[in-house]
Amino acid sequence: MIVWRGLGILAPIIPVAAWIFIPELFKAVFGEMWFKSNYPWVSGLSILAGALAVWFWGRHLNAKKVGSPGGENAEAQAVMKPGHSLFFIRMEYWSIPFGILALYMLLRTIVT
């Protein structure tokens, strides 16, 4: 069973989609032969791009929103709680394991 709130379900979908589509973009631009020889670092770079997108989008979505100070009851401001999580973990924190995976893939291509 998957438990999510708001757009939290997109936390793993965005890096996986980046891992699928960004290498295809590189293959279309640079050609099949170049892509085959450079796939490991392109794959790591695409997952890193997806992780960064999840981090910044999650930070944006989970930012606290404070109501306007004006109005009849200026003392009571509406503060909405962040509402975008997957398995009770906020969306931006899901970028950390994907970022670690991407850095591992990039470092592995440098070392080997």
Distance of alpha carbon 102 from alpha carbon 46, whole angstroms:
8
Task: Please give the tally of structural domains in the chain.
Answer: 1
Digit-coded pLDDT (tens) for 54-98? 999 999 998 876 555 555 555 555 555 658 999 999 999 999 999
Domain that holds residue 17: 7-65+78-111
59: which residues sit within 8 A by CB, 6+ positions away? Answer: 92
pTM: 0.80
Can you give the pLDDT at residue 30? 93
Domain annotation covers residue 1: no
Domain annotation covers residue 89: yes
Domain annotation covers residue 72: no
Digit-coded pLDDT (tens) for 42-53? 999 999 999 999
17: which residues sit within 8 A by CB, 6+ positions away? Answer: 50
112: which residues sit within 8 A by CB, 6+ positions away? Answer: none
Domain annotation covers residue 100: yes
Domain annotation covers residue 34: yes
13-38 average pLDDT score: 94
